[in-house]
Amino acid sequence: MRRKTILRAILWSSFTAAMYFPSSIATTLHLYRHKDPDIEAYVQENLEQIIEQQEEKIGISYPAERPKIEYLFPEEEIYSGFVGLYDNKEDTIYLPSGLLTTPEWDFGDFMATIFTFNSTADVKRVLDHELTHFYCDGIKEQVLGQNYHIFEVNYFIPEERIANQLINEGIAKYVENKMNGEDNDPFPFEEWPTEIKGFSNRVIYEGGYALVRPIIDKHGEKGIQFLLFNHLTPKELYTPEEYQEKILTDIAKLQ
């Protein structure tokens, strides 16, 4: 069923839902569970081109294999607020296609954005981000083996888990921004957390991007590879500029 047909029905049912919580939340949750054939068609038609453009612009090389792509979000992740998810155990990208818009936009995209209070996201941006996770996962599997993520889940202390997120999300955000013509002012290190509970999603994504940007700008794929295996130590977690300087110095020594 096309999304605009779904939205017409939701427009009326939302008045009932509003008795319990805002209609935009009801609409968003409904669209998380809706599979949009237009988004699926866009991905199938443009996936290879998106990968080729990343390889050319960022200077990276994807493996011959491609990730599996699902167009409905896992039920347990619906309330996370994420608009894309990569499962490194299954090599699968999950897209909540009902909440995604195409770069060209159509009336259904407009309606979805209005009715969800701007909770939609551009499918190309999401693909650029999640494909980068797939690319980085392949690099780590080559070096550490296919089950490396079991160690990360079971043995990382909190500081190591945050460091891992900063690097992985920072790299993915870098590629996403670069491929979509965005080069925002980086997260100000003056606002960097001084304790672990301060690492919000904003710090993980925007701060991670600020952390890795000068390294990838200068060293491209080599910089990405070095970052993936040289995370911040628990002490460096709170001194991002020192970490940047150390990584840039270490890479220079290898040349």
Kindly tell me if the per-residue pLDDT of 48 is higher than 70: yes
Which pLDDT value is given to residue 144?
Answer: 84
The residue type of 180 is N
pLDDT band at 251 (very low <50, low <70, confident <90, very high): very high
Lowest mean pLDDT among 7-16, 31-40, 246-255: 7-16
Q: Kindly report the average pLDDT of the chain as a whole number.
A: 88
Kindly tell me if the per-residue pLDDT of 16 is higher than 60: no
Q: What stretches of 79-184 adopt beta strand conformation (E)? A: 85-87, 92-94, 100-101, 121-122
Quick check: is 179 in a domain? yes
Overall domain count for the chain: 2
46 and 118 share a domain? yes
Which pLDDT value is given to residue 13?
Answer: 53
With a CB cutoff of 8 Å and minimum separation 6, the contacts of 239 are none
Question: Where does a domain end: 98, 133, 168?
Answer: 133
Q: Confirm if 113 and 120 have CB atoms less than 8 A apart.
A: yes
209 and 87 share a domain? no
Kindly tell me if the per-residue pLDDT of 19 is higher than 80: no
The residue type of 82 is F
108 and 11 share a domain? yes
Which pLDDT value is given to residue 63?
Answer: 95
32 and 129 share a domain? yes
Burial of 59 (0-12, 13-18, 19+ CB in 10 A): middle
Which of the residue ranges 26-30, 129-133, 146-150 has the most confident prediction, judged by mean pLDDT?
Answer: 129-133
pLDDT band at 17 (very low <50, low <70, confident <90, very high): very low
Quick one: average pLDDT of 187-211? 96
Quick check: is 14 in a domain? yes
Question: Where does a domain end: 73, 102, 133?
Answer: 133
13 and 53 share a domain? yes
Quick check: is 175 in a domain? yes
126 and 160 share a domain? no
Kindly tell me if the per-residue pLDDT of 11 is higher than 90: no
195 and 110 share a domain? no
Quick check: is 85 in a domain? yes
pLDDT band at 29 (very low <50, low <70, confident <90, very high): confident
Task: Give 185 or 234, the one with higher predicted confidence.
Answer: 234
45 and 97 share a domain? yes
* Range(s) of the domain holding residue 60: 3-133
61 and 11 share a domain? yes
Kindly tell me if the per-residue pLDDT of 74 is higher than 80: yes
Which pLDDT value is given to residue 4?
Answer: 53
With a CB cutoff of 8 Å and minimum separation 6, the contacts of 88 are 133, 137, 149
Which pLDDT value is given to residue 20?
Answer: 38
Quick check: is 150 in a domain? no
Question: Where does a domain end: 63, 98, 133?
Answer: 133
Which H or E run contains 2? none
Quick check: is 151 in a domain? no
Percent pLDDT > 90 in the chain is: 67
202 and 105 share a domain? no
- What is the per-residue pLDDT across 89-141, written as a single tens digit (0 to 9) for each? 999 999 999 999 998 877 777 777 776 677 789 999 999 999 999 999 999 99
C-alpha dihedral (235, 229, 219, 137), degrees to nearest 10 = -130
Quick check: is 224 in a domain? yes
128 and 160 share a domain? no
Distance from C-alpha of 214 to C-alpha of 210, rounded to nearest angstrom = 8
Quick check: is 149 in a domain? no
Which pLDDT value is given to residue 222?
Answer: 96
95 and 29 share a domain? yes
Which pLDDT value is given to residue 153?
Answer: 63
Which pLDDT value is given to residue 12?
Answer: 44
For residue 17, give Cα distances in angstroms to 3, 10, 14, 21, 152.
Answer: 19, 10, 5, 6, 41
CB atoms within 10 A of CB 105: 11
- What is the per-residue pLDDT across 207-244, written as a single tens digit (0 to 9) for each? 999 999 999 999 999 999 999 999 999 999 999 999 99
Place of tokens 């699926």: 40
